[in-house]
Structure 1
């Protein structure tokens, strides 16, 4: 498992970033600035950065709270585990936020998290499907990592993800293979064959996610079209992950299905949110247009805020800036 490596920054930078993230300034910081402060703290990875992010969970924005949990998982710092446990255990919290807390526990990958994840796999049977499915994936991911740690080094690595920087909920098929012959077999599969695994509802969700990330890693138009079929799945969690993957791929062939998803007023807001941010990362003129359309009144708050963040991401993509975070002073 990857060990987090903190970046040393001055106390003044911590204070500045906390002030922005927790909106302790007058006039209040726009949401896009707070997101950039959050991703700056993500790059720092220290225990103090984790503690500052934790204070953001008092914010009224579901979108921001969800993003806080996501970032804590991506930091892979075990110091965040008690914070995430608390979020998952708060039944009054929005399922979108609790889902992200469960996924973050899986991303950090500590065996100690299995107990609380198993608890909520049982408790969520009659409650939130999104949370239950996320908990199941997180358990599978941790167990996968534990098994991998006991085997000789090979091709398996949940954090080896085809050049993407994210810590994914599951390894791609090719990285989950146990032998060289298995790797060769997977690489010889056609994109349609991998797509068939993606859409096979008889398979465990963890296996279907492996196919999802394998298609992402292929990265071409044919892979995009296979992934787009996932928007027909009956799991909101699965559909939201398809949109997330499209945001990573930044392939223009995904734009029509993402626009359809964002414009579908009967779609789960969690899925529409992810479609909006994916469109922001692709940043074609039609992406800008649809995000402008849904950033106003009469739109669910999570979707509206996601469109605002999507527009900021789109502006970043066309600006040529180096990273979607603020420049910070580091201690040498």
Structure 2
């Protein structure tokens, strides 16, 4: 039976499920009834943690995606009470000019979802000239002081950027960020598992939240057309070559490729949770099977078997971050079309 365990987050004994359902262009592409079923299945298995944000449209000139609004209605239709799940809301700091603007953006986000608070707020990519660190810290402090947020984190920030926000937080009398959401998976380990991030984690008690854990479906060879993250280190060709071997290994261990990839990430003790974009009950069921695979094979054995698949090793600057890619760069939201 699937056992979604929890991991600690922050300094107050708070625990979060190790699997999170994310909303980036997920629920706005899914039949509503299926979204309800996926949410219900996740909660029933203990994965009652949701990462939600107000996202830009997939096509220029279109309204913002309604994925957050859909989530709010779907979680209600699934019969999940607000006290029975952890809500994580994104805040886009490049859209804000003051601490008051950050608070107002948060208020808009939770209003669209249909609540008035979130357990966690995550400040998104730093692109070009952004709001000063002191302003971000002041906004986070105001949200925590109001009781509408318990913890805060950052998304795709570099180690240097995190150290700067920690210093600003200390100045504002705010505890440091509890998590860093990073592009991290079985073939992308250089940032989350390397220096200088290891030092940041050790110094500040930071936890890693893995995004793109299946490389937007590319790891599985899924043929689809949707915006996905860029390809730091230009490793997608290596992934294509490694995929058959990974799939065969998964079969030998009695699991699927998705389960093997997710189970590897779960072996990291610095991880708090993995964000997945499951759109069907079959997908969420497959993702949940990663916990069974981990329990059956063991973390040490999985890390040993998958050691050769660190494909971005030596190809990515471990200090860099996804946010260092300009928002208008054509590869930041590349259309990935796998052959498999």
Tell me the TM-score normalised to structure 1 length.
Answer: 0.36
Whichever structure has more strand as a proportion of its residues is: 2
Whichever structure has more helix as a proportion of its residues is: 1
Tell me the TM-score normalised to structure 2 length.
Answer: 0.35
> With CA pairs under 8 Å and 6+ residues apart, which has the higher RCO, 1 or 2?
2
